[in-house]
Amino acid sequence: MQVKLLGRQPYAGIEAAMRDFTAARGPATDDELWLVEHDPVFTQGLAGRAEHVLGAGDIPVVQTQRGGQVTYHGPGQVTAYPLVDLGRLGIYVKEYVYRLEEAVLRTLAAYGVTGHRVRGAPGIYVRLADPFDHAALPSAGPGQDPFAGLGKIAALGIKVSRHCAYHGLALNVAMDLAPYARINPCGYAGLPTVDLRSLGVSADWNEAAERLAAELQRLLLRPA
């Protein structure tokens, strides 16, 4: 897997380049991993509903081909785009999503933060009261809020075409979190969004990007 650190980039150009790369790749094309820090932008997934954008203001809203609802990208966030041939890797979408989330969990663990999955809500979440607590989350019963006491630190949205995946995930490192108040993050009204800095963790963007890239490479290694 070739890793490309692309730095600060507008979203639209990167999204178009991902589509072009995926459309042009063949059976022998190497997988790639692009790591980007985007200019401020709200992106809507294929099923995105307009009512989840509460007031975009001066931040553009871009329609995309990924799954999921609206999310925010901006400076201080590591956005990772694995461009992966799932057929060659020998896995299906569910396993791919699991591995993307696992890469985030391992990256957070390197900073002492315990991340959690929430059933039916792709992405990674942390306990707001104690993000360093290693205990598993209790199961939410009928009628209970599965996000009670949690904040979202990483979002995930992918697209698969001809068994090849693009788009990816975003890990919040040290952002201006205010734009999240302009949307229902990933379609969940009132869901708190956090970053490493708001959890009391000092992390450099490049360091976090390199750690996340290393975990993604390990988990997406092509079978010999």
- Could you list the active site residues? 186
Name the residue with tokens 């150009």: 13
Phi and psi angles of residue 83, each rounded to the nearest 5 degrees, phi first: -105, 95
Report the distance separating Cα 177 and Cα 156, nearest Å: 17
Contact 125, 118 (CB under 8 A): yes
Report the distance separating Cα 138 and Cα 127, nearest Å: 12
Report the distance separating Cα 8 and Cα 38, nearest Å: 5
Closest CA to 193 of 173, 213, 168: 173
CB pairs under 8 A, 24+ apart, for 125-131?
A: 125/150, 125/151, 125/152, 125/153, 126/150, 126/151, 126/153, 126/194, 126/199, 128/192, 128/194, 131/194, 131/199
Contact 215, 101 (CB under 8 A): no
For residue 218, the tally of other CB atoms under 10 A from its CB is 12
Beta strands 116-118 and 121-127 are antiparallel
